[in-house]
Amino acid sequence: MKTKFVNILFITALSLSVFSCKDKAKEATTTEAETPAVTEAVNTEIYTVDKASSTIAWTGFKPTGSHNGTIGLESGALNVANGKVVGGSFIIDMASITVLDIPADDKGNAKLVGHLTNADFFDVEKYPSAVFTITEVTDAEGKTMLSGNLTLKEVKNNVTFPVTIANEGGAITIISEAFSIDRTKWNVQYGSKSIFDNLGDKFINDDIELKITVKAAKS
């Protein structure tokens, strides 16, 4: 009976592990920064990013759970040729970080926001903005892949992730699938067990899950 009970626990744990792995967002392909592609199209149009309708949703993980929130954009523009996105960039307002899983009037909300914006994490006073510059838009295995240089804390890496791009009524909408980045590649090291070996179970996962929504209208 004891053996049967142990086997049930093992199978349950294995099932949960497999389920968790399936649910985890795939890490974006990350390489050294690249030079943005140059389009020779003469009819390139500029679409200005709508800050109010654009956002970056984030989720951070630790052994005891997770936290999630949003980051806003400061400004941005897309280069569009023949109805397709061929370039562009946007500035991310790091001071706009919000936490959504803790009530806004809870002291824990302000504490976590303060922790994320101080020198431990994103050091917003020193690095108030991050920048994403599109380097290429390609089709691969039936998906549209967006590549761009992400500059965060003066560290620049190129990331590639799947997106859906719609062009309707003079407006461009880019919505990414959920993907993750390894924060340590941008020198965000606090609580990382890959950097520090004495954290026990007090570590914070290196991967940050992101989902990007950008809306832009013809200027």
Nearest CA to 73 out of 217, 219, 213 is that of 213
Give pLDDT < 70 ranges for the chain: 1-23, 39-42, 200
All domains of the chain in start order, with CATH: 27-218 (2.40.128.110)
Distance in angstroms (rounded) separating the CA atoms of residues 25 and 209? 7
- The alpha helices in 74-177, defined as continuous H runs, are 107-117
- Say if CB 82 and CB 110 are below 8 A apart: no
- For the stretch 29-88, pLDDT in tens is 999 999 987 766 668 999 999 999 999 999 999 888 999 999 999 999 999 999 999 999
Q: Identify the pLDDT of residue 197.
A: 75
Distance in angstroms (rounded) separating the CA atoms of residues 106 and 175? 31
Q: Identify the pLDDT of residue 5.
A: 37
